[in-house]
Amino acid sequence: MNQTFLSELVSMLRSQDEITWIEAKDSLGDPIKIGETISALANSASYANQEYGYIVWGLQDGTWDIVGTEFSLRKFKHGNQDWQIWLHEQLGRDAHWDSFEFDTEWGKAVVLRVKNCWNVPVKFRKIAWIRKGSHNQELLKYPEMERTIFTRDGKSDWSVGIVPDASLSDLDQVAILLARENFKQVNSNTISPVEIDGWSDEEFLNRAKITVKGKITRTAIILLGRPESTHFISPAVAKITWILKDANGMEKDYAHFEPPFLLAVDKVASKIRNLRYRYMQEWTLFPEEVDMYDPWIIREFLHNCIAHQDYEKRARISVVEFEDGRLVFTNAWDFLPTSLESVISGNSPPETYRNSFLAHAMVQTKMIDAIGSGIKRICQIQSRKFFPLPTFDFDNGKVEAELLWKVLDVKYASILARNSNMTLSEIFALDKIQKGLVKQLQKDRVLELKKKWFIEGVRYPNVFLSGRISEKLGESWKYIRNKGFDDRYYCDLIVSLISKYERVSKDDIRNMLLSKLPEVLTPEQKENKVDNLLTKLTKLHHIVSVEGKTKAKKDRIWKLIKDTEK
């Protein structure tokens, strides 16, 4: 960006009667005001279908003349804290901006360019702002503008749709009371509980972004609606099904749950048999009993399924409980951008949601964490228990998330127990290895684990736990069976065999070595290993092959090269 851009920006300003996505000031140095303006510009740019909003220092308000400014973002502070760090803390992950400074013949100009929001309004200190004329106003006062932001760029948000014939009487009063209490906790820093108690149900639902100007939305039906009110969203389906199956997949029990989903989640969770699991390993890493399934994880998976379900597909959200220790959550569409690894390794959670209005309401009613770190927290809880991480299967427009409640591999648990400072990315990679999914990892990721002596192997993807870990577990013999011996050992065996019997076939050599080669090698790789050893001994002039006949067939016969023949 250069001075030419600034000139073009000024020309554009002068050509417009009113622009709500640009704030031009000769001086604006109040951090609070700047934070509110960034929120307002991000939301206003989205409403006006503009990619960016701008704060420009050095322009005279109204005339747009370049007058210069003494303001400098480079020197700007909030107390002793860097202004960008402070603003990111107050604005959250949905706000993005960059800044530029120009020297002009009229003086210095500074531009702060703010990216428009996507589906979810940008908030400053938990309040979303919008530009009305040249002033910042709270977005909640303009529900139609807010609704437009939720459906930005014509991307339809089914959950924000109005249900014309529904009324407050179609909502469950117990669910509304719980939603109000949860709303108090979410907004405890900005709105007093006494004030919230003074709101009518209509005002509360409007402020919680569950209804729009008193009109019942599909979100309101899903979260708070009476079971009989689901006909309002037909042919869409809002239903959660719990199924109990034995280890062979045979169905033993089931139950269906309808809205209000705010109350249904706890009912679904109560059906799951959450027994106590005691680690009975001899190595005494686990002296205490733990819940098979962490209750928070169960609710987090259910909440994500609700928020990201494609209700128009007329599919149910399902929770299948297997008696062998598995939970499988299934919903139509998905709640991960591409994969579990992308969420673990990313610095921020996904920024888009299928049902933005519904997801926002679930934040306000304490069903979803506003910072969107649920998946990472699930992985952290599982790893602290030394349980496998969840696995996700994307297929045919749905996602299946599987959760295991037991130690799958004692060696994996041992590495976690002895290396408490491991990153989630490292835990994710080890989890893939214990599940036999090494090929799903990049080679460089496997190399990193080898450098830290967590694993060893002949070559990718044939990797296994390191000797150091195996020795601590009293399983050094497993390490040797995986790693094998060096080539000199195998060559000595071959020479010893030929020396004893003078003439041996390749089958004899192969049969002798197969039980001694690393178990991680495939049959084809073991065959290649035998060939390589024979080639190596031939080049060293220790052995030679000749035509022969064994077991009624022609074969190559191997014999030693005597010193007189060398």
Q: Residues 296, 290: contact at Cβ < 8 Å?
A: no
Instruction: Assign a CATH topology to domain 487-565.
Output: Arc Repressor Mutant, subunit A (1.10.10)
Q: Residues 261, 287: contact at Cβ < 8 Å?
A: no
Angstrom CA distances, 270 to 166, 197, 249, stand at: 30, 30, 21
Average pLDDT over residues 76-83: 74
Which two tokens mark 234?
């037909």
Distance in angstroms (rounded) separating the CA atoms of residues 354 and 359: 9
Q: Residues 224, 210: contact at Cβ < 8 Å?
A: yes
Long-range contacts of 554-559 (CB under 8 A, 24+ apart): 555/505, 555/506, 555/507, 556/505, 556/506, 557/503, 557/504, 557/505, 558/494, 558/498, 558/503, 558/504, 558/505, 558/506, 558/509, 558/534, 559/498, 559/502, 559/503, 559/504
CATH numeric code, 3-142: 3.30.950.30
Q: Which of 109-118, 135-144, 222-231, 305-314 tops mean pLDDT?
A: 222-231
**Mean pLDDT value across the chain:** 78
Q: Residues 42, 95: contact at Cβ < 8 Å?
A: yes
Distance in angstroms (rounded) separating the CA atoms of residues 104 and 92: 34
Confidence band (pLDDT; 50, 70, 90) for 348?
Answer: very low
In the sheet that holds 317-322, the strands lie side by side as: 251-257, 240-245, 317-322, 326-332, 398-404, 391-395
What pLDDT digit, counting tens, does each position of 14-40 carry? 566 557 888 877 666 678 888 899 999
Nearest residue to 113 (alpha-carbon basis) of 65, 56, 171, 31: 56
What pLDDT digit, counting tens, does each position of 228-254 carry? 999 999 889 999 999 999 888 899 999
Confidence band (pLDDT; 50, 70, 90) for 384?
Answer: confident
Which two tokens mark 70?
């003494």
Long-range contacts of 446-450 (CB under 8 A, 24+ apart): none
Instruction: Assign a CATH topology to domain 240-404.
Output: Heat Shock Protein 90 (3.30.565)
Q: Where are the domains of the chain?
A: 3-142, 158-233, 240-404, 410-483, 487-565
Q: Quote the strand ranges of 415-552, DSSP E.
A: 455-459, 462-465, 504-505, 543-550
| Residue 95 in this model has a pLDDT that exceeds 70 | yes
Distance in angstroms (rounded) separating the CA atoms of residues 30 and 32: 6
